[in-house]
Amino acid sequence: MAITSIDIDRGLLHDAKKLLGASSNKEAVQRALQYTITMQRQRLALERISRREFSDEQIDAPKLDYSD
């Protein structure tokens, strides 16, 4: 893991620690970065899905009912 020195607003770091339940500054930054990456990947996946076009066969595909 690389050691990096950055300036972070103390108020933002405090809020991030509190909201993320982090016990250290390092943990807060790591969790915030992971959260940001996860949310961005989800947004991009949803954009790809929303642009997808489905054929009539896919739209009218058989549906399974698992309820008893």
Q: Is position 58 within any domain? A: no
Convert the pLDDT of each residue in 31-58 to its tens digit. 999 999 999 999 999 999 999 888 888 8
| Residues near 37 by beta carbon (within 8 Å), at least 6 away in sequence | none
**Where in the sequence is the domain holding 37, given as residue range(s)?**
16-50
The per-residue pLDDT for 42 is 98
Q: Is position 38 within any domain? A: yes
Token pair 């970065």: residue? 33
Q: Is position 25 within any domain? A: yes
CA atoms within 13 A on the CB side of 5: 0
Q: Is position 56 within any domain? A: no
pTM value surpassing 0.85: no
Residue bearing the bigger pLDDT, 23 or 3: 23
Q: Is position 6 within any domain? A: no
How many structural domains are present in the chain?
Answer: 1
Contact present, 35 and 20 (Cβ < 8 Å): yes
Q: Is position 67 within any domain? A: no
Q: Is position 4 within any domain? A: no
